[in-house]
A and B are shown apart, each in its own frame.
Chain A
Amino acid sequence: MNGVNGHGHRALSLVPKTDAKQTLKDFKTDQEVRWCPGCGDYAILAAVQSFLPELGLRRENITFVSGIGCSSRFPYYMNTYGFHSIHGRAPAIATGLATSRPDLSVWVVTGDGDALSIGGNHLIHALRRNVNLKILLFNNRIYGLTKGQYSPTSEVGKITKSTPMGSLDAPFNPISLAIGAEGTFVARTIDSDRKHLQSVLRAAAQHEGTALVEIYQNCNIFNDGAFDPLKDAAVRDDVTIRLEDGQPIVFGANGEKALRRTNTGAFEVVNVTDVDPSEIAVHDAGNPDPSQAFALSRLDQPAFTHTPIGVFRNVDRPSYDEEMRAQMDDAVAKQGAGDLAALLSSGDTWRID
């Protein structure tokens, strides 16, 4: 299967495959899942567990690394190798693993607090380096595990335990941030839409380099209904823009709306019947110039008037892992394999008899 832009299999080419038939069950552990009943994390877990068999990878060559937070319990429920690490640091730890083990498929599971607050630095650097990591960012716009403080993606004015008069922070838009951080694969999906979620995971898995997948995830305890406009059957088709590479960006229950690029570079929503078809923007995820993907990301505002989902950006750039391996190979090719005795006695030496 090819990536969205027909990229090859580079990302997983070095990961051993299995001929044995895998099912969702193979990826379940004997550990009791301990998220709150009704949490969006259950749906994501089931979607990932039922998607992984289609990659056909040996289970022992898959590793999930997480930070701290509700979402970061994820590895305990995956019957693969797993590392539940430190708050915010999963991308750093996963970078060490992925850059030293090309035979592994390394996934990072993180949340909006973990990835964008305490771990913001590691996230942006993983993205710019293009390390071979698939980062699943569960965005519920709230701190769940610490029981309900506002997060870096909470809307301004959010009333929480730590902001009784409303939060003052302007939120991050994770997609804009990732594109700005030189991300090569940036996508968004929703916990409740398994088909879409899995289609995005499919594209992410095949991407060489860092894939950031933002997953809108409902926290039914501390921020219930945060994404209702995208889920409510009555309005969701009017506000959800499903991005498909190479296709005109058209949406609405009957495809009656479209996006047109204005002369400022931003997008505006138009009625299909009001414009010439040539004016309707065509999605181009593989465009090396990130400005169109960025403009798309700006359509998403806290009120969910228009929210694009799907793959915003998917461009080909050598991964950090590939480049690191190339330097290592090059060093051996040019200088030969290391000889410890020769190294120790390099430089000015003298002999005493």
Chain B
Amino acid sequence: MSGFHVLTLLTVLPLAGAAIALWSGKHARGVALITTLSSLALALFVWTQLPANGSIGLVEQAKWAPSLGIEYHLGVDGLGALMLVLSAIVTLMSVDAAHRVHHQPGLYFGLVLALEAGLFGSFTALNFFHWFLFWELCLIPAFFLIKLWGGARRGPAATQFFIYTMAGSAVLLVAFLAVFLSTGSMDFPHLTLLASTGELEQMVTAHLGPQVMLWLAIGVLAGFAVKVPMIPFHTWLPAAYAEAPSPVTMLLTGAMSKMGVYGLLRIAIPLFGAQIAQIRTPLLVLAVATVVMGAWAAAAQKDLKRVFAYLSVNHLGYCLLGIFALAVPVAVGDTGALASQAAALNGVILQMFNHGVTAAALFWFVAMMQQRTGGHRGIDDFGGLRKPAPVLAGLMGIALFSSLGLPGLNGFPGEFLIFRGVFPLAWVAATVSILGLLVTAAVILTVIQKVFWGPVPEHCVGFPDLHHGERLALAPVIGLMFLVGLLPQLIVDSVNPTVQNLLAHWRF
């Protein structure tokens, strides 16, 4: 692949699309559709080009500012490539869902595409400098999308979102400057190697003193914990998800939340594995709290978007649970523990993908319901919708049961593998979090009962069902839920080698 910078192309493509969209006014959605479709094709192409042994492939490397440790270094493995595909799918869904942007469509779709570029950039970067650039680049379009097109209380929500994540970024930046000061490198693979031999800790201790490494780990964790989010760093989320226009919420939950989990897997665990293992118990407590309290908080919400926002917190909590549970030193030759780690990590990555698709779909359905009722989205605003809108009810029902973790749909394999991996490594955490599955089910069935079942109130009698175009747009997404649910190996095939490769390089 030398000479063909496919990863750079992947990132530049939506940027170019964004530039065109900015100037194309009413036709911006068309531009965005073409751009996201070609991005998806390119991302799928990247996904097929992975090295079979799970290592990082499609590498592009160029000197940039060597004295500062800054290097243009791109590459993807099974994890990165899957996130590229997910980002491309979710952005396409989001553009598809944004039917009626009357106010400055050029700017809107330009920002969405810039966000996609940020996602691609951060999922392919292997050097802290431009990884951080893209990480921030995502934040700016997201802020403006909430601020300019959001709901009634968009102002405070956008500001809270921005300040929260900025604070997280600042901590990350400081931590990485410390790492750079000690090692002179910002290169992820290089730092991972240093960490796996224990040199990284020695260097940091030598330069900055003892215990600093632990504080750096906490700082990096906090940065990612905001993004995922992990309780108690999550309070920006319900407001931001609820106030953002639903297509933007799809991006926030479907793709951007994965940046946090990805950061944990690409940066926090490889560099600070030993420190994370040290504070594993409190981290597990927070992960369990995220799972259980997230689900329970969803039960108290009346706004569908807030319900799904908290369900997102709950579902990403399973990812945190898997990651922290596997952060434990394993004796050489302990195949049982290794198998559990591999199961948990495969489950986490599957869960990232599946949550992205399912949560984005759920917010898409909310967008459709809002369109039909002039913005209504309260649980109690509807009733008996199965009668006037059977297709909407049926398809959204599938998405809801996917979120519930019904076997046969995509939510199940990831959650099953996570529990399979976590139970032997941290059985108390697994046992308590399994409560989350019960509470989630209660929340989802309550939504179905109140929105779709029961008698039809007068104002819902003429509720229009999905029209042909919407059914056509949704069909591939629903199909994907079945496909991954029935044949998860399609994804695991490319993820599992990476999992083994990652685990081989991590040191706890």
Please indicate whether A and B come from the same complex rather than being unrelated chains.
Answer: no
Interface residues of A (CB under 8 A from B): none
Interface residues of B (CB under 8 A from A): none
